[in-house]
Amino acid sequence: MDRTPDELMVMIASHLEAPLAPYAAISRRWQDVIEARTFSEIHLTSDEGSRLKFDAAFKTTRRRRMLQVLDFEVELPCPYFDKVQARREAAKNNAAFTEANLTLFQTLSVWDRDDTNVWFNLAIGVDLVGRSPRSTDMNTNTYIPPNPVNNWIKYVNFDYAILNASGGLPLVLVVSALKLSVSYRLYHPNLLTTLSGALPNLEGLDANFLAPARRLPNMRQSIRSSMAGSLCAIAANLHFLTCLKLYWGDCEPSSLRFPLESYIGLDSPHDRFSIAIRRICQLPTMRHVQLIGNCILSDQIFGGAADDSVWPSLKTIEIGMALTAPDARWYFTGNPEDVEPIEDYGDSEGEIPNGSSVDAEYPNAMVWAFESRWQRENSKNPFHNFRTKPCGAILVPFLTSLARATARMPALRQLELELSFVLFVGFYRPSLPKLERDYSATTMGSFFDAHRNHSKWVICFDDEAKKNWRFPPVLTTALLDMSPHIFRGQALYRS
């Protein structure tokens, strides 16, 4: 057994069933293999018993080197599921969230200083998940999504009074990947500013956020502005970041007559959110960016018409966009009289809690009665899709900026942008087998086969939008500067 290759022992161990402790007693090599499997991925909760077990298990540098993924779950004290959350309850949750993360970061901050300051390699993916007692069905132990009326009310954030009194989050140098999950809670974007300042060695960041509902325009502007500030902080703090995955969930208006709010300030024509994304993409270390979830973006994400800055290392970028622009315009226009609205829900009695009354203690029966009214006030009802004509005033500058930006991406292998299932734009360098498999059964598949060894563009509109679109010369020139091979077809939807 002493001559058995390490790779074979690891493969054997992966097929063993619990309990694994007896196998660790076979030999020292088997002890190393079993412990490496046991301690590579750890689930830690914020209660004291779980923390004490974690501290005992990872006292030594040898054991700490085995840790690859730390799944950290914060238990929040106040219910969230069955009523509108009061402000004082949100404050208790923020305090608990802050104390739990302070404890975790204090523990991890000393790991790299063990053994006379000898540095060792340790990659940890931290999954911060805040759960409250009523986020789960007690009978089946399965997650219950909050009612939409209660959603979008309180965001979990750090209690900065507690954080500042403690001197802020301790610096942690051993974490190379961070994941912020939105499975159970709505996280405030300000978390990213604080976390990026305490985790300077991050190479990967996967964050999930949800924008407030459209019936709360002031909150939408505030949260989006906070996200722009956090993205700027990421660009300034994280000098080793190579991969960013950002989900920015938002509700596209189903009623396309819905009035939009502007995110462009009166004193500045710039969209800070789009500019911040561009700064991150242009970091010297950045390789992969995924920005999905119906993001509201302008052409400033690609620098606009006069920009000549370089995106030095970016290899892949994927963007999911909304039909709306930050200046309260639509990327597609149309005549509302051309189609009849479709009513999906009937009217209901009662009033939705407005911004001034969301802290009241509403009885459960009242809260659950607001569904159809919520649908209407959040532009989800009625469905009224008449916008099928591309708005050249903003869509052409956007696509032209995109095409010109690709010329300043020397490492680019793949770019994909989808605008709310209406428009798909892709740019691909030669020999990408994954894409050829994805589209092998379509007309695009034969296009990829014919141009396997060439760079190529793919631009697809849906049926109605395609009838109203003509390629303007300025855009055609920008596209041809990168590649003469352009596929123009119907928008494709991949699973």
Domain-wise residue ranges, the chain:
6-490
Better-scored residue on pLDDT, 213 or 246: 246
Given this model, what pLDDT does residue 358 score? 42
Q: Which two tokens stand for residue 110?
A: 């000393």
Strand order in the sheet with 486-490: 41-45, 69-75, 125-131, 177-180, 204-210, 243-249, 288-295, 316-321, 414-419, 423-428, 456-461, 486-490
Given this model, what pLDDT does residue 119 score? 37
Distances (CA, A) of 356 to 87, 377, 379, 469: 12, 16, 20, 45
What's the average model confidence in pLDDT over 78-103? 79
Tell whether the model's pLDDT for residue 93 goes beyond 70. Answer: yes
- CA-CA distance, 248 to 289, in Å (whole number)? 13
Q: What is the DSSP letter of 466?
A: H
Distances (CA, A) of 318 to 249, 346, 415, 456: 15, 38, 6, 16
Phi, psi of 354 (to 5 degrees): -95, -175
Given this model, what pLDDT does residue 102 score? 95
Better-scored residue on pLDDT, 12 or 179: 179
**Given pLDDT bands bounded at 50, 70 and 90, which one contains residue 434?**
low
**Given pLDDT bands bounded at 50, 70 and 90, which one contains residue 151?**
very low
Given this model, what pLDDT does residue 78 score? 74
Tell whether the model's pLDDT for residue 249 goes beyond 70. Answer: yes
Tell whether the model's pLDDT for residue 348 goes beyond 50. Answer: no
CB 485 within 8 A of CB 446: no
Tell whether the model's pLDDT for residue 385 goes beyond 80. Answer: no
Tell whether the model's pLDDT for residue 328 goes beyond 60. Answer: yes
Of 70-79, 106-115, 425-434, the range with the lowest mean pLDDT is 106-115
Tell whether the model's pLDDT for residue 398 goes beyond 60. Answer: yes
**Given pLDDT bands bounded at 50, 70 and 90, which one contains residue 36?**
low
What is the overall mean pLDDT for the chain? 77
Given this model, what pLDDT does residue 210 score? 84
**Given pLDDT bands bounded at 50, 70 and 90, which one contains residue 180?**
confident
What's the average model confidence in pLDDT over 452-478? 89
Tell whether the model's pLDDT for residue 23 goes beyond 70. Answer: no
C-alpha torsion sign, points 303, 331, 290, 435: negative
Given this model, what pLDDT does residue 372 score? 56
**Given pLDDT bands bounded at 50, 70 and 90, which one contains residue 29?**
low
**Given pLDDT bands bounded at 50, 70 and 90, which one contains residue 277?**
very high
Better-scored residue on pLDDT, 121 or 432: 432
**pLDDT tens digits along 188-226:** 999 999 999 999 999 999 998 888 877 778 888 999 999
Given this model, what pLDDT does residue 286 score? 97
**Given pLDDT bands bounded at 50, 70 and 90, which one contains residue 325?**
very high
Where do we find the tokens 């660009």?
Answer: 235
Residue 148: left if φ>0, alpha if ψ -120 to 50, beta else—which one?
alpha
CA 62 to chain centre: 34
Given this model, what pLDDT does residue 125 score? 42
The set of residues, in sequence order, having a beta carbon less than 8 Å from that of 183 and lying 6+ positions away, is 129, 143
**pLDDT tens digits along 42-54:** 888 888 999 999 9
- CA-CA distance, 98 to 166, in Å (whole number)? 10
Residue 373: how many other CB atoms lie within 10 Å: 19
Better-scored residue on pLDDT, 388 or 442: 388
Given this model, what pLDDT does residue 388 score? 84
Q: 407-439 b/e with 16+ CB inside 10 Å = b? A: ebbeebbbbbbbbbebbbbbbbeeebeebbebb
Given this model, what pLDDT does residue 197 score? 95
What's the average model confidence in pLDDT over 287-302? 94
Inter-helix orientation angle 28-38/6-14, to 10°: 50
Task: Give the three-state DSSP class for 160.
Answer: helix
Of 173-177, 318-322, 375-379, 469-473, the range with the lowest mean pLDDT is 375-379
Residue 431: left if φ>0, alpha if ψ -120 to 50, beta else—which one?
left
Residue 366: how many other CB atoms lie within 10 Å: 15
| Closest by CA position to 46, among listed 110, 161, 126, 109 | 126
Tell whether the model's pLDDT for residue 79 goes beyond 50. Answer: yes
